[in-house]
Amino acid sequence: MNFTVKKWQNREYVTLFFLMIQVAVFIIMEWYGMLNGYGLQGTESVAVLNKFGALTQTGILMDHEWWRLITPIFIHIGISHLFFNSLTLYFIGRQLESIIGHARFFIVYMLAGIAGNVISLSFGQLTAISAGASTSLFGLFACYLVLAEVFRFNPAVRAIGKNMGLFILMNLLFNFFGSGVDILGHIGGAIGGYLVMNVVSIPKMTDGRIITDGVNIHKRIISGAIYVFMLVISMVFVMKKYGIL
């Protein structure tokens, strides 16, 4: 019994939990779409996306549906969107969760997604509708930059961090020239993930002969303050823009 419990605790169950949620949401949305005349394109219908909580300025600012800053993380537009985001989450998520632990991973994933959605909401177009785990995934990518800083004397970890940084930049570059991609959400997610990863730090671990306690307390406090400031300023900006404040 103890072996079974320990084995389960060592599994990346938060990653699997997030995967199950987004797959379940996709199936439910497609089923709802079929029942309401949208065929097999329920998740690509604006009406269905709105119904299930996609990110919209009117929904949040006019109807005060603040939960729409969270629900888009688990909603995907079309099967390919779900497939590629799920594949990325499975590999990147499991690896990162095994390094930083379940609680830290959960916090980073959720707060990076919220940050991306706030930035998308604040600086995006009024008529835009967006959804997807990409805001959170870009936050996970940015976590590797923090790991590279903490383990700066480890060439392998530094190389992974450098490659992940280039990966983020390349993706944003392609997003910029692409259509139908929420680049603002990706930028916000990456920044949010980096800041939150600094705040939660990493468990005490050994890097060869080096024992690290993670990110120093001053950087953790500053990163947390910047994260909150970024979200508050963004919300104030968009609310003033539409005369709500």
Q: What CA–CA distance (Å, rounded) separates 191 from 210?
A: 28
Cross-strand bridge partners of residue 55: 130
**Six token digits for residue 109:** 């994933």
On whether the CB atoms of residues 202 and 215 are closer than 8 A, the answer is yes
Q: Is 120 a catalytic residue?
A: no
Catalytic residue selected from 86, 122, 130, 134: 134
Catalytic residue selected from 130, 186, 223, 234: 186
Question: How many Cβ atoms are within 10 Å of 64's Cβ, its own excluded?
Answer: 9
Q: Is 122 a catalytic residue?
A: no
Active site residues: 134, 186
